[in-house]
Chains A and B, each alone.
Chain A
Amino acid sequence: EIVMTQSPATLSVSPGERATLSCRASQSVDNNLAWYQQKPGQGPRLLIYGASTRATGVPARFSGSGSGTDFTLTISSLQSEDFAVYYCQQYNAWRALTFGGGTKVEI
């Protein structure tokens, strides 16, 4: 099983600031990585796939980068609606999809 490790567990930022979230895979997943946003009481929302491709309707302030084992999700200027928990997910091992533990972005 590919283990996905996210850091930090909690990120405290102010509106308008830049947020950088990290995700590390226990082995290479090439660029087969997705990022999700989850707000309380809701299902996850797909933000990024292919490590860097924004999903339909996702604002340009969200960007993804990385390949192999190290990935980054950057939110360039945090808006109030961006405070949520973010998860990465690898799909390189497509019969054993795994998620990271999440990063909570709080005010």
Chain B
Amino acid sequence: EVQLVQSGGGLIQPGGSLRLSCAASGFTVSDNYMTWVRQAPGKGLEWVSVMYSGGSTYFADSVKGRFTISRDNSKNTLYLQMNSLRAEDTAVYYCARFLYNLYGDLWGQGTLVTVSS
């Protein structure tokens, strides 16, 4: 079955770090444009980061310098390392496969990150 299964997330204090994981099955992460999108409570969707098949990475200005995106090809898994977390980073984070880096045809179930003291 083609799917994305997410893990990680939870409650973290401001300034802390967290790593989200997104395990893929049925397709190869490294052959695709893999994206993180977040959704703050009661809000809409916000693009966060993308990793191209070739390895290039891009970030939203709101997270640039604090978040990194990576992948482990042997585990077929995408990661989002989040450092220096702020209250405004509180959201459900989704990983997704974006065809041609344009639109998401496959999404994970989401994982909640709560940044609070």
Chain A contact surface mostly: loop
Contact B102 A49 (CB under 8 A): yes
> In the complex, what residues of A have CB within 8 A of residue B47's CB?
96-99
- Whole-angstrom distance between the alpha carbons of A87 and B94 in the complex? 15
User: Min CB distance, A62 to chain B, in Å?
Assistant: 15
Chain B contact surface mostly: strand
Contact B45 A89 (CB under 8 A): yes
Contact A46 B104 (CB under 8 A): yes
- Whole-angstrom distance between the alpha carbons of A106 and B104 in the complex? 24
Q: B27 near A: Cβ within 8 Å?
A: no
> In the complex, what residues of B have CB within 8 A of residue A64's CB?
none
Chain B contact residues, CB within 8 Å of chain A: 43-47, 58, 94, 96, 99, 101-105, 107-110
Cβ 8 A contact of A100, one of B44, B99, B103, B108:
B44
With A43-B96, A43-B109, A43-B110 already in contact, the answer to whether A99 and B102 are too (CB < 8 A) is no
With A42-B109, A43-B94 already in contact, the answer to whether A95 and B58 are too (CB < 8 A) is yes
User: Min CB distance, A87 to chain B, in Å?
Assistant: 6
Contact A44 B102 (CB under 8 A): no
> In the complex, what residues of B have CB within 8 A of residue A100's CB?
44
User: Min CB distance, A58 to chain B, in Å?
Assistant: 11
- Whole-angstrom distance between the alpha carbons of A36 and B45 in the complex? 11
> In the complex, what residues of A have CB within 8 A of residue B96's CB?
43-44
> In the complex, what residues of B have CB within 8 A of residue A34's CB?
102-104
> In the complex, what residues of A have CB within 8 A of residue B105's CB?
46, 55
- Whole-angstrom distance between the alpha carbons of A91 and B104 in the complex? 11
Give 23 pairs: A residue, B residue, CB < 8 Å, sorted on A.
A32-B102, A34-B103, A34-B104, A36-B45, A36-B104, A41-B110, A43-B107, A43-B110, A44-B45, A44-B104, A45-B107, A49-B102, A87-B45, A89-B45, A91-B103, A97-B47, A97-B102, A98-B47, A99-B44, A99-B45, A99-B46, A101-B43, A102-B44
